[in-house]
Amino acid sequence: MKVLLLEDIKGLGKKGEIREVKDGYGQNFLIAKNKAKHATNEVINKYRSQQKHQAELEALELEKRKQLAKSLESITLVLEKKGNNGTLFGSITKEEIATTLQEKHNLHIDKKEVDIPTPIKHTGAFAVIIHLGFGINANLAIEVKEL
């Protein structure tokens, strides 16, 4: 019996491969546990179509992230916080950066995507890294001013 693997199976093959297996193993284990489907032409074509559609969606998402990275790198984010003689009361947080981007530039960035290499505890210019996924990172310039 030929089956199309829906997930990686140790000793048998990787997801998307078509393998020849014994009828009992295929029917009672692989198909019963939704690890594979009987490899008919219809199932194979449908699977390839889904894979092609998924690749197109990923390409669109990748392009969207690249555009977001370009727009982030062209921005200088100005943050104001209470302080005394150039030293801030507290430090600039990831959440403050994310909310300021949302409010001033209408860019939705999750605070988990923001990476502050060194704590920002005084006024001046700083660089922050934004991890956008798909291996795309953007450098965001931040200028901190005292209130």
pLDDT in tens, 75-84: 999 999 999 9
Contact 97, 77 (CB under 8 A): yes
Strand arrangement, sheet containing 83-84: 83-84, 87-92, 120-122
Tokens of 136: 């795309």
- What pLDDT, on the 0 to 100 scale, is given for residue 61? 94
Residue extents of the structural domains in the chain: 2-62, 65-146
- What pLDDT, on the 0 to 100 scale, is given for residue 132? 92
Cα–Cα distance between 27 and 9 in angstroms, integer? 15
pTM here is 0.72
The arrangement of secondary structure in 65-146, i.e. its CATH architecture, is Roll (3.10)
Positive or negative, the CA dihedral 69, 71, 76, 77 is: negative
- CATH numeric code, 2-62: 3.40.5.10
- What pLDDT, on the 0 to 100 scale, is given for residue 23? 95
Q: What parts of the chain have a pLDDT lower than 70? A: none
- What pLDDT, on the 0 to 100 scale, is given for residue 147? 85
Cα–Cα distance between 76 and 100 in angstroms, integer? 11
Encode 120-129: b = buried (16+ Cβ within 10 Å), e = exposed: beebeebebe
